[in-house]
DNA sequence: TAATGCATGTAACGAGTTACATGATTTG
DNA sequence: CAAATCATGTAACTCGTTACATGCATTA
C-alpha cells in the first residue's frame, strides 16, 4: 500500500490539487513511484474519507473547480508509522529478464533489437537523472533531508547504470 | 501480460502439472517472475481455453487428480512473438525509496533499522544467486541458451550487489 | 461561438494477493 | 480410521491501466 503514502508525502511537502499532484508525480516523485491522475483522484477520495487529509475550504465546491488538499495530523502520524514499519523488500519481477529466459527455449530472433532499444532508453534516463543531480544537489546542500533525497536519486542513477552495463555485456554475449 | 508467457516458457522447458509449476516458480523462475499457485491455476485455465496449451490425456479427470499440461504449436508461436515484440522497460517503483523520501519530511526515526534489515536480506539473496551460479553454470556450458540463462542470473547478482552497496552507503550517510 | 486547454472525475478491466474450500493419497 | 500431505481449485479484494465523460475558462 504505497500510493496513499506517496501522496501523503507529496502533500506534506506542499499542499496541492489533484492535477498539481499528477504533474509532480510526472516529474520528481514518479521517478521511483509513478501514478496516473485516475489513481490519484481515487486515492485522494479515500484519504479524505479516512480523515488523513482535508480539502482546503473553497468558495466554489463544484466539478471542474480546483480543489487543494492538505495533510491532517492523523495523516502525518500514519505516514511516520508506515515509513519506519517493517516491510519485505520487493521481489524482482522483470519482463525483460523473462523474455531472455524464454528466448533460450524459442530462439533469439529479434531479441537483440529489443535489447538495443532498451539500452538506448536506459542511457537517456541515466542522462536525465544526472541532469537532476546537477540542478538539485549542489555540494553545499548537506542537511539530513538533502542527504536522503540525494540517496534516492543515487539509487536511480545506480540502477540505470546497472541496466546500461548489463545490456551492453549481454548484447556482446549474443553477438559472439 | 507476462505471467502467461512465463508459464508457456516453463512448459516448453518441461510439461508439468499446476503444482509442479508452482514449485518451479518457487525455485528458478520465481527469482525474476514470482507467481502463486492461485495465479498459476487461473492462468492455466485461460491458456487451455485459448488453445495455447492442452492437458495430457489422463484416465481420471477429477478434482484432486494430477493434471499435466503441454504447449501446443499456437502456444509456442505466441511465445516467440511476445519474446521479440517491442515492450517498454518497466518504470522503477520501489517502496523503500519512497520511504526514504518520506523520511526526509517526517523524520528518520526507525528507518535505519529497516535499512539494516534489508541489507541483511539482500546479502542472503546474493549468496543464494552465487550458489546457483556455481551449481548450474560450470565454465564448459557455453551454448547460446546457456549464455542467455547465465545473463539472466547475472542480472540478479548485479541487482543484489547494487542494493547491498547502496544500502551500505546510505546507512553510513545517515550515521554521519 | 467554437475550439482548446485545464481540472475533476467514472467505468471497466487485468493482474496480484490473501483466505478459504474440496477431493485424493499416504502414513501413523 | 484419523491426520497429514498432495493437488486443484473459488472468492473477494486491492492496485494499476485504459478509455471515456463532464464542467469551467480562455482565446481565436
3-state class of A16 per DSSP? strand
> Sorting pLDDT into bands at 50, 70 and 90, what band is B1?
confident
- Chain B residues whose CB is inside 8 A of the A29 CB are 101
Domain boundary at B51, B84, B117, which? B84
Does residue B109 share a domain with residue B48?
A: no
Across the range B107-120, mean pLDDT stands at 95
What dihedral do alpha carbons B120, B126, B131, B135 form, nearest 10°?
160
Residue A89 lies in a domain: no
pLDDT digits (tens, 9 = 90+) for B57-67: 765 545 557 88
Does residue A126 share a domain with residue A156?
A: yes
Does residue A56 share a domain with residue A129?
A: no
How many domains in chain B? 2
B55 pLDDT higher than 70: yes
Q: Do A80 and B104 touch, CB atoms closer than 8 A?
A: no
Residue B76 lies in a domain: yes
Q: Is the dihedral of CA B144, B149, B152, B158 positive or negative?
A: negative
Distances (CA, A) of B82 to A106, A120, B75, B86: 11, 20, 11, 8
B169 pLDDT higher than 90: yes
Domain boundary at B26, B60, B84, which? B84
3-state class of B71 per DSSP? strand
Task: Give the integer Cα–Cα distance in Å for A150 and A142.
Answer: 9
Tell me the Ramachandran region of residue A41: left when phi exceeds 0, alpha when psi lies from -120 to 50, beta otherwise: alpha
Specify the pLDDT at position B53: 96
Residue B165 lies in a domain: yes
Specify the pLDDT at position A65: 73
Domain boundary at A53, A84, A115, which? A84
> How close A66 gets to chain B, by Cα (Å)?
25
Residue B89 lies in a domain: no
Does residue B78 share a domain with residue B7?
A: yes
CA-based angle A136:A139:A142, to the nearest 5? 90
Task: Give the integer Cα–Cα distance in Å for B117 and B135.
Answer: 28
Q: Do B70 and B56 touch, CB atoms closer than 8 A?
A: yes
Residues of chain B above pLDDT 90, percent: 85
Task: Give the integer Cα–Cα distance in Å for B8 and B13.
Answer: 9
Residue B32 lies in a domain: yes
Specify the pLDDT at position A113: 95
Residue B90 lies in a domain: no
Cβ–Cβ gap A173/B151 under 8 Å: yes
CA-based angle B137:B139:B140, to the nearest 5? 105
- Chain B residues whose CB is inside 8 A of the A117 CB are 86
Q: What is the pTM of this model?
A: 0.93
Residue B51 is placed in which grid cell? 488453445
Residue B113 is placed in which grid cell? 533499522
Does residue B144 share a domain with residue B80?
A: no
pLDDT digits (tens, 9 = 90+) for B116-163: 999 999 999 999 999 999 999 988 878 999 999 999 999 999 999 999
CA nearest neighbour of A33 among B87, B97, B89: B97
> Sorting pLDDT into bands at 50, 70 and 90, what band is B86?
very high
Q: Do B71 and B80 touch, CB atoms closer than 8 A?
A: no
Residue B71 lies in a domain: yes
CA nearest neighbour of B100 among B45, B166, B156: B166
Q: How far is the CA of A62 from the C1' of D21 (A)?
A: 16
Does residue A147 share a domain with residue A101?
A: yes
Residue A53 is placed in which grid cell? 487529509
Does residue B69 share a domain with residue B140?
A: no
- For the segment 59-78 of chain B, residues whose CB is within 7 A of strand C: 60, 62-65
Does residue A131 share a domain with residue A75?
A: no
Nearest to A102 among B9, B94, B100 (CB): B9
Specify the pLDDT at position A21: 96
Specify the pLDDT at position A58: 63
Q: What is the 3-state secondary structure (H, E, C) of B4-65?
A: HHHHHHHHHHCCEEHHHHHHHHHCCHHHCCCCCHHHHHHHHHHHHHCCCEEECCCCCCCCCC
Specify the pLDDT at position B175: 86
Q: How many Cα atoms sit within 13 Å of A93 on the Cβ side? A: 14
Distances (CA, A) of B148 to A61, A111, A172, B162: 58, 11, 11, 21
Does residue A63 share a domain with residue A43?
A: yes
Across the range B69-75, mean pLDDT stands at 96
Q: How many Cα atoms sit within 13 Å of B3 on the Cβ side? A: 16
Residue B50 is part of which domain span?
3-84
Task: CATH number of the domain at B29, please.
Answer: 1.10.10.10
Residue A138 lies in a domain: yes
pLDDT < 70 positions in chain A: 58-64
Does residue B50 share a domain with residue B25?
A: yes
Does residue A124 share a domain with residue A51?
A: no
Does residue B161 share a domain with residue B111?
A: yes
Cβ–Cβ gap B34/A118 under 8 Å: no
Amino acid at each position: 500500500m504505497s500510493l496513499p503514502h506517496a501522496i501523503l508525502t507529496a502533500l506534506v511537502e506542499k499542499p496541492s490539487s489533484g492535477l498539481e499532484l499528477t504533474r509532480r508525480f510526472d516529474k520528481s516523485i514518479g521517478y521511483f513511484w509513478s501514478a496516473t491522475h485516475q489513481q490519484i483522484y481515487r486515492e485522494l477520495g479515500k484519504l479524505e474519507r479516512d480523515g488523513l487529509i482535508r480539502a482546503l475550504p473553497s468558495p466554489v465546491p463544484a466539478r471542474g473547480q480546483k480543489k487543494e488538499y492538505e495533510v491532517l495530523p492523523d495523516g502525518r502520524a500514519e505516514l511516520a508509522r508506515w515509513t519506519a514499519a517493517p516491510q519485505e523488500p520487493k521481489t524482482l519481477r522483470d519482463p525483460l529478464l523473462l523474455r531472455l529466459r524464454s528466448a533460450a527455449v524459442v530462439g533469439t530472433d529479434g531479441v537483440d533489437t529489443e535489447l538495443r532499444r532498451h539500452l538506448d532508453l536506459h542511457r537517456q534516463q541515466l542522462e536525465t537523472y544526472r541532469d537532476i543531480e546537477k540542478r538539485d544537489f549542489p555540494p553545499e546542500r548537506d542537511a539530513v533531508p538533502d542527504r536522503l533525497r540525494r540517496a534516492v536519486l543515487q539509487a536511480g542513477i545506480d540502477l540505470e547504470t546497472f541496466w546500461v552495463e548489463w545490456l551492453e555485456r549481454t548484447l556482446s554475449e549474443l553477438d559472439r
